[in-house]
Amino acid sequence: MSITRDDVAHVAELARLAMTDEELDEMHGHFGAILEHFARLAAVDTEGVEPTFHPLVRRNVTRPDQIRPPMDRSKLLANAPSADDECFLAPQIMEDE
């Protein structure tokens, strides 16, 4: 499967990565090379083979519905690039979702 430069630009948008033209060119080149390796998988017969999403399978690993004390807000806000006394601050949010 080949990929166009526009496809790469779309992926960059999905991944929230701003890229210059040069970066897009370089990424397009990398995709070309790595996709060749990926294409080799098409030759493998996986008919009836289950995927291995987990190398170790356990089931129903849950916790009881019990409250644990929350973390001190100031400790979390201390790492924030922008915050007031109560909240994390984001630049104006474009209505989307």
Partner 1 sequence: MTTQALIGLEVHAQLLTESKMFCGCPTDFGAPPNTHVCPVCTAQPGVLPVPNQRAVEMVVRTGLALHCDIAPHSVFARKNYYYPDLPKNYQISQYELPLCENGYVLIDTDSGPKRIRVRRVHLEEDTGKNIHGGAGAASRIDFNRCGVPLMEIVSEPDLASADECRAYLQKLQLILRWMGVCDGNMEEGSMRCEPTVNVIEPDGDGKTALVEIKNLASFRAVHQAVDFEIERHTKALTGGDETIRETRRWLQAEGRTETMRSKEEAHDYRYFPEPDLMPLAVDEALIEHIQGETPEGPDAVRERFVSELGLSEYDATVMTQSVEFSGFFEEAAAQAGDAKAVANWMQSDFARLLNETGTPLAEAKVTPARLAELVKLIADGTISSKMGKDVFEAMFESGDPPSKIVEDQGMSQISDASALEPIIERAIAENPDAVEKYKSGKKKALGALVGQVMKETKGQANPAVVNQLLSQMLDN
Partner 2 sequence: MAANGDFSLLERPAHELAALLDSGEVSSAELTRLALERIEALEPSLKAFLTITPEQAREAAEAVDSARARSESPSPLAGVPIAIKDNMCVDGVACTCASKILESYRAVYDATVVERVKAAGMPIVGKTNMDEFAMGSSTENSAFYPTHNPWDTGKVPGGSSGGSAAAVAARQVPLALGSDTGGSIRQPASFCGVTGLKPTYGRVSRYGLVAYGSSLDQIGPLTTDCRDAALLTRVIAGADPRDTTCADVEVPDLAAALTGDIKGLRIGIIQELMTEGIDAEVRGAIGKAAEALEDLGASVGEATIPHIDYSLPVYYLIAPAEASSNLARFDGMRYGHRTDQKASGHIDMYSRTRSEGFGDEVKRRIMTGTYALSAGYYDAYYLKAQKVRTLLRRDFEAALEKFDILISPTAPMTAFGIGELVDDPIAMYMADICTFTVNLAGIPGLSVPCGFSEAGMPIGMQLVGRAFDEATILRAGEAYQEATDHHRRVPEITAKEGLS
* C-beta closer to partner 1: residue 33 or 67: 67
> Does residue 83 sit in helix, strand or coil?
strand
Applying the rule CB under 8 A, the residues between 25 and 54 that interact with partner 2 are 27, 30-31, 33-34, 37-38, 40-42, 44, 46, 49-54
* b/e burial code for range 11-44 (CB count within 10 A of at least 16 → b): eeeeeeeebeeeeeeebbeebeeeeeeeeeeeee
Q: How far is the CB of 31 from partner 1 (least distance, A)?
A: 17
What amino acid is encoded at 52 in this protein? T
Q: Give me the residues that bind partner 1 (CB under 8 A), please.
A: 14, 16, 53-54, 57-71, 73, 76-77, 82, 84, 86-93, 95-97
